Amino acid sequence: MSMNAQQPADRGADLAEDLEPTAHLIAEKADTTASQQEKAHRPISRGRLVWRRLKGKPNFYIGGAIVLAIVAFALFGDLFNIYTQGQQDSFNFNSPPSAQHYFGTDAIGVDLYASMTSALRTSLLIGFLAAPTATLVAAIMGSLAGYLGGPFEMFTNWLINLLLVLPVFYVLMIVSPAIADPSNLPGAIQWLGFMPAWGLLVIAIGLFSWMIMAQIVKNQTKSLKEREYVKAARYMGVSTPTILRRHIIPNVASLLIIDGALGVAGAILAETSLSFFGLGIQAPDVSLGTLLQDGTGAAVSRPWLFVIPASFLIALLTGVALVGDALRDAIDPTSEVNRA
C-alpha cells in the first residue's frame, strides 16, 4: 500500500501513513464505541488530545523528570545546606565533596553546592525566557513575511540577512559592558536600565537567535499559503490574523516547539559561553558559565569543581531535548507515523 507508485507525488506524505493510521483507527474504534454510549457529541479539545498523546511517551517522562529534578534542586536545594552563595568557609579550602560540603569547595572555600543552586536559577531563567522570546519573534516575523509577501517580506529578508552576517558573539561582546552595568546603555534605551543583567541577556540572546527559524517559518508559510485549506479559509472570509493563528502557526507548531525546546538548550549554552568568557553574568552573581570557567583550570587537580557543573549542564540539555521531542510527537499526529 505504502509502496504503491501510482499515487500522485504530492501526496507522498500520505503514503507512509496510509497503513498505520488505519490499524490505529480500527483499534481506537473498538475501544471508543464501547464508551460512546454515555459520551455526548462533545468534541474533545485539541489541548486534551495532545496531553493524552503526551502521556504515552517515555521520552516525556524521562526528560520531564530530569528537568523537574534540576528545577527543584535550583529552587529548594538551599533548604538542605547551611551555606549561602558566596559565603566562604575559611577552614575548608579545596575540600572534595563531603558531608559538610556536598559538592566540595573551591580555592577560597566557597561552597559549590550553594553556588550551583544559584547558578542554575540564573541559567534556567535565561534559558526558559530567551528561547521562547526568539521563537515568538521567529513565528511572527516568519509567518507574516511568508503570508503577506511583497515589501514586508523583502524587509524581513534584508533584516534576517543582516543579522545573520553579523558575528553574534562579537556583537554580544560589544554590548556586554551594557549588560554588566546598565548605566553603559546608550541614551535611547537607557530606560532598560531597570532590568537586571540577566534580563538584558535574555533580550540580547533572543534578538540574535530568531533568524534561521524565521527563515524556515517563512518558507513553510509560503507553501502552506498555497494549500487548499488555507485557500478555503480565505474564501470563507476568514481574516488574515485568524488564518495565521488557526492554520499557519499550528502547522508550523511542531517546528516552533522543536525550536523552542532546543532553543532552551541553545540559550543556556549561549549564556554559559558568554559567562564563561566573562561577558555575561558578572561576579558576584554566578551562572553555570562562570562556574565552569572557574572550574576548568581545576579540572584535573580538583575534578569536582568542573565535573559537577558540567554534569548538570549536560543533564539539563538532555532533559530539555527529550521533552521537546515528546512534545513534537504529541502535537504533530503524523510525525510519529512518518518516522516509523
Partner 1 sequence: MPEPLLQVKDLTVTFPNAKGGVRAVRGVDYSVGEGEFLGIVGESGSGKSVSSLAVMGLLPSSAKITGDITFRGESLLGMSDRALSKLRGREMAMIFQDPLSALTPVYTVGQQIVEALTLHDKNVPQRSAEKRAVELLKIVGIPAAERRVKAFPHEFSGGMRQRAMIAIAIANDPALIVADEPTTALDVTIQAQILEVLQKAKEVTGAAVVLITHDLGVVAGNVDRVAVMYAGKLVEKGPVEEVFHSPRMPYTMGLLRSVPNMLTAGKERLVPLEGRPPNLANLPVGCPFADRCPAAQDRCRTTEPELLADLRDGREVACHRSDEIAAGTLKPSDIFPRPPHEERAVKDSTGLQPVVKAQDLIRHFPLYKGAVFRRVVGRVKAVDGVDFEVLPGETLGLVGESGSGKSTTALEIMELVSPQRGSLEVTGKDVGTLSRAERLAMRQDVQIVFQDPMAAVDPRMPVGDIIAEPLTVHGVPRAERDRRVVEMLELVGLDPEMTDRYPHEFSGGQRQRIGIARSLITNPKVLVLDEPVSALDVSVQAGVVNLLEDLRDRMGLSYLFVAHDLAIVREIADKIAVMYLGRIVEYGPVQEVYETPRHPYTRALMSAVPVPDPTIERARRRILLTGDLPSPTEDIPGCNFASRCPLFRMLDETRQAQCLGDDPAATVHGKSKVACHHVDEIHRLDDADISALSPIPGD
Q: Is residue 11 left, alpha or beta, with left meaning phi > 0 and alpha meaning psi from -120 to 50?
A: alpha
Burial 70-91 (b: 16+ CB within 10 A, else e): bbebbeebbeebebebeeebee
Q: Which residue has the cell 499550528?
A: 250
Q: Which of 25, 82, 162, 166 touches partner 1 (CB under 8 A)?
A: 25
Could you tell me the three cell numbers for 267? 540559550
Could you tell me the three cell numbers for 25? 483507527
Nearer to partner 1, 10 or 167 (CB): 10
Q: How far apart are CB 241 and partner 1 at their closest, in Å?
A: 13
The candidate with the shortest Cα–Cα distance to 295, out of 285, 287, 307, is 307
DSSP 208: T
Per-residue binding string, partner 1, 173-202, x by CB under 8 A, is ------------------------------
Cβ proximity of 224 and 251 under 8 Å: yes
Nearer to partner 1, 10 or 165 (CB): 10
* Residues paired with residue 105 on neighbouring β-strands, in sequence order: 111
Q: How far apart are CB 161 and partner 1 at their closest, in Å?
A: 15
DSSP 57: -
Q: Which of 233, 264, 323, 327 touches partner 1 (CB under 8 A)?
A: 233
Judged by CB under 8 A, the number of residues near partner 1 is 51
Nearer to partner 1, 23 or 188 (CB): 23
Nearer to partner 1, 18 or 285 (CB): 18
Residues with Cβ within 8 Å of 313's Cβ and at least 6 positions away in sequence, in order, are 268, 272, 288, 292
Q: How far apart are CA 294 and CA 107, in angstroms?
A: 10
Q: Which of 30, 34, 44, 79 touches partner 1 (CB under 8 A)?
A: 44
Q: How far apart are CB 326 and partner 1 at their closest, in Å?
A: 18
Q: Which of 75, 161, 231, 245 touches partner 1 (CB under 8 A)?
A: 231
Q: Is 229 in the site for partner 1 (CB under 8 A)?
A: yes
Q: Is 149 in the site for partner 1 (CB under 8 A)?
A: no
Q: Which of 235, 300, 301, 339 touches partner 1 (CB under 8 A)?
A: 235
- Taking CB under 8 A as the binding criterion, the range among 7-15, 121-129, 151-159, 211-219 that sits at the site for partner 1 is 7-15
- Taking CB under 8 A as the binding criterion, the range among 99-107, 176-184, 234-242, 299-307 that sits at the site for partner 1 is 234-242
The candidate with the shortest Cα–Cα distance to 135, out of 262, 47, 321, is 262
Nearer to partner 1, 98 or 242 (CB): 242
Nearer to partner 1, 194 or 235 (CB): 235
Q: Which of 30, 41, 90, 187 touches partner 1 (CB under 8 A)?
A: 41
Q: Which residue has the cell 509560503?
A: 222
The candidate with the shortest Cα–Cα distance to 163, out of 213, 126, 202, is 213
SS3 at position 41: coil
**Max Cα separation, the chain?**
79
Q: How far apart are CA 74 and CA 123, in angstroms?
A: 10
Q: Which of 2, 161, 184, 190 touches partner 1 (CB under 8 A)?
A: 2
Q: Which of residues 99-138 bind partner 1 (CB under 8 A)?
A: none
* Residues forming the site for partner 1 (CB under 8 A): 1-11, 14, 17-26, 28, 32, 36, 41-44, 46, 49, 227-229, 231-233, 235-238, 242, 246-247, 250-251, 253, 332-334, 340
